[in-house]
C-alpha cells in the first residue's frame, strides 16, 4: 500500500514537471478536452469503449457501463477553480464560464446511451495552444466544439452510434457556427477482441480541424481493432482513411497500448506514421481512477485524471501536452 502511494506521488510530480517544461518552452497544451486518453494511445481509439472520449471519436463506442435502470451523469472540469483564478479577467458571462466548467452530460435508459459534450477545446489552431502561461485559456470560449449523440446497444456485442458536432468559432468578432456528423459501428467478436469503424463528415470551413494530433479528415472512413489481454493490457490498431486516397492520410497506421499495473492506474503509449511524408508521432501518458481492471468491464468512477505527452516529428518537431481532470456527479 505504501509502495503504491509513493509511486503515485512520484508519477504525479513527474507529470507536473513535464507540464511545466512544456509550457516554459511555449509548446502546445490542451486544458479542456476529453481526448487525453486517446491522444496518449496514439489515436488508436476507434474500437475502444469510453464515456465522453468515445462520443468525441467513434460514437458507437460511447458506453456508460452495464448497470440496469435509468442513469444520469454530469461531467465537471476539475481544473475549473485553477482556470477561474488564472483567467478571471477573461470571464465573459455564463457562456464563457460554462466553456471552462461543464464538460458534458450523459443519460442512459436501457440499451440507449445518450451524451452531450460541451466546450471541447479545438486543436485546429496550434498557435493558440502555444500557451505562454500555465492554464492560460485565451480563445477557449471562441474556439471550441460541442457534440450531441447516442449509441444504441443492439446486443451485448453490437452497437451503432451517431453524433452531431457543433463547431463554435469567432471570426473578426462575429460568431460563426457550422455542423458536422459522425457515424459509427462497434463489434465485440469475442470477449477480448473489439472492432470499430466510423465515418466523419466535418463542416467544410473546418474540415482540417482535427488534422493536428488526431489525423482525422473530412468524408473518410476509419477502422480499428483492439485486443485485451487478461483484462489488464489492451493493444489497439487503427487505420485512418480506408475509403478515399485523395482525401487526407490514406491507410495511415496508428498503434496504441494501455497497461494496468494496479487497479486504478494505467500506463499508455502510442505510435503513428504519416505515409505521405514519412513523419512519426510518439506518445505516452497515464490515467488514474477511470477504469476497473479485470473482465467485469467499464465502471464509472467519481473522478479521473488523464495526462498525455505527444512528440510529433514532422517538418517541425512539435511537443504537445494534454491534461484532463474530470469530476462526475451520478444519479441512478
Nearest to 108 by CA among 55, 157, 56: 55
CA 157 to the chain's CA centroid: 23
The DSSP H or E segment spanning 54 is helix 52-55
One DSSP character per residue, 79-119 reads THHHHHHHTGGG--HHHHHHHHHEEEEEEEETTEEEEEEEE
The predicted pLDDT at position 266 comes to 92
Rama region for 249: left / alpha / beta (φ>0; ψ in -120 to 50; rest): beta
Residue 331's pLDDT is what? 83
Q: What is the DSSP letter of 62?
A: B
Q: What is the pLDDT of residues 304-325, one digit of tens each?
A: 899 999 998 877 788 888 888 8
Q: What residue spans define the domains of the chain?
A: 10-331
Q: What is the mean pLDDT of each run of 10 residues along the chain (332 residues)?
A: 48 50 57 88 95 94 84 89 71 62 91 92 76 69 87 92 92 86 94 94 91 90 94 94 85 95 90 85 88 51 89 83 89 74
- What pLDDT shows up at residue 316? 79
Q: How many residues does the chain have?
A: 332
Does domain 10-331 correspond to CATH entry 3.50.50.60?
no
For the segment 85-124, what is each residue's pLDDT rounded down to a tens digit?
776 666 655 556 666 788 899 999 989 999 999 878 888 7
**DSSP H or E segment with residue 262:** strand 252-262
- Residue bearing cell 466546450: 119
Question: In this predicted structure, what is the pLDDT of residue 97?
Answer: 64
Amino acid at each position: 500500500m505504501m509502495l503504491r502511494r509513493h509511486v503515485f506521488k512520484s508519477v504525479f510530480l513527474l507529470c507536473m514537471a513535464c507540464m511545466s517544461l512544456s509550457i516554459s518552452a511555449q509548446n502546445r497544451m490542451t486544458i479542456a478536452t476529453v481526448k487525453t486518453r486517446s491522444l496518449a494511445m496514439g489515436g488508436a481509439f476507434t474500437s475502444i469503449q469510453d464515456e465522453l472520449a468515445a462520443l468525441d471519436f467513434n460514437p458507437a463506442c460511447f458506453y456508460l457501463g452495464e448497470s440496469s435502470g435509468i442513469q444520469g451523469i454530469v461531467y465537471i472540469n476539475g481544473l475549473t477553480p485553477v482556470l477561474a483564478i488564472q483567467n478571471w479577467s477573461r470571464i465573459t458571462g455564463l457562456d464563457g464560464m460554462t466553456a471552462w466548467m461543464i464538460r458534458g452530460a450523459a443519460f442512459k435508459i436501457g440499451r440507449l446511451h445518450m451524451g452531450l459534450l460541451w466546450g471541447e477545446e479545438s486543436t485546429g489552431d496550434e498557435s493558440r495552444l502555444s500557451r505562454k502561461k500555465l492554464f492560460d485559456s485565451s480563445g477557449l470560449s471562441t474556439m471550441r466544439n460541442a457534440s450531441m449523440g447516442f449509441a444504441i446497444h443492439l446486443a451485448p456485442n453490437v452497437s451503432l452510434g451517431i453524433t452531431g458536432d457543433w463547431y463554435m468559432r469567432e471570426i473578426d468578432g462575429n460568431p460563426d457556427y457550422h455542423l458536422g456528423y459522425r457515424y459509427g459501428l462497434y463489434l465485440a467478436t469475442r470477449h477480448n477482441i473489439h472492432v470499430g469503424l466510423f465515418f466523419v463528415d466535418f463542416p467544410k470551413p473546418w474540415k482540417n480541424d482535427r488534422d493536428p494530433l488526431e489525423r482525422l479528415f473530412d468524408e473518410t472512413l476509419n477502422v480499428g481493432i483492439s485486443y485485451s489481454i487478461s483484462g489488464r493490457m489492451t493493444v489497439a490498431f487503427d487505420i485512418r482513411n480506408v475509403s478515399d486516397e485523395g482525401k487526407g492520410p490514406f491507410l495511415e497506421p496508428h498503434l496504441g497500448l494501455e497497461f494496468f499495473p494496479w487497479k486504478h492506474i494505467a500506463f499508455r503509449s502510442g505510435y503513428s506514421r504519416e505515409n505521405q511524408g514519412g513523419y512519426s508521432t510518439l506518445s505516452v501518458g497515464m490515467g488514474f481512477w477511470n477504469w476497473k481492471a479485470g473482465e467485469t468491464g467499464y465502471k464509472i468512477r467519481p473522478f479521473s485524471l488523464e495526462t498525455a505527452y505527444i512528440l510529433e516529428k514532422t517538418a517541425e518537431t512539435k511537443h504537445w501536452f494534454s491534461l484532463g481532470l474530470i469530476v462526475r456527479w451520478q444519479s441512478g
